[in-house]
Structure 1
Amino acid sequence: MNIILVAIGGFFGSILRYHISIKANKHLIGTWIANMLGSALLGFLYRLHFTNTLSDWSWMLLGVGFCGAFTTFSTFGNETLLLVLNKKYKHAITYVISSLVVSFLLVSVIFIAV
């Protein structure tokens, strides 16, 4: 059953991720937005699951499936590599640091606040 829940969540997460990519004209800001929103949502969902407010099936559907497909480390890595290959070092460093710091802060604040 968990595989089905993850698959359903992943289906919708990947569609929303694709939609954001199109709206951002396939620019790296779309990946950044998806990853930050996904981090915040995952932090919120994990906190609910951690406190037994969110059921295991909901965690599988939303946390593992939806957030897993919605956020995208592979695209983040590819975009960072392209920035480096195009010698846009400041952009690459800013992209990596802001992605890590902002997502960590979002998860931390949400986890503590909820």
Structure 2
Amino acid sequence: MINSRKIEYSEVQKHNTKNDCWVIINDQIYDLTNQKKFHPVGESYINIFAGKDATWFFNLNPIHYKSEIRDILRGLKVGNLIRKEGQKIPDNKITIIPLLILIFIVLSYYFLFI
């Protein structure tokens, strides 16, 4: 089966830069290094999750459930995550929440005062 490789989190952690970016989504690992430039919101959102679990953030956006997006991801899949019992995998919620608040404030200001 294509892309059925079993990968431990320690391997995913090594791919944590903007030039080598693996991301975990629903316990599947994707190499988003070259795909980031096509992301409508920009590379920064993906870079935040390089080498980490982006499941919670990915699942917030209903557009990610479109078949076109799933087809793209299927072609970028590296393998499946092996979770070790008790292992904690960072998801960057603490980093992204202030960013979301800032975006909300900026958009609110724009719509209220411009």
Greater helix percent: which structure?
1
- Give the TM-score normalised by the residue count of structure 2: 0.29
Greater relative contact order (Cα < 8 A, sep 6+): 1
Greater strand percent: which structure?
2
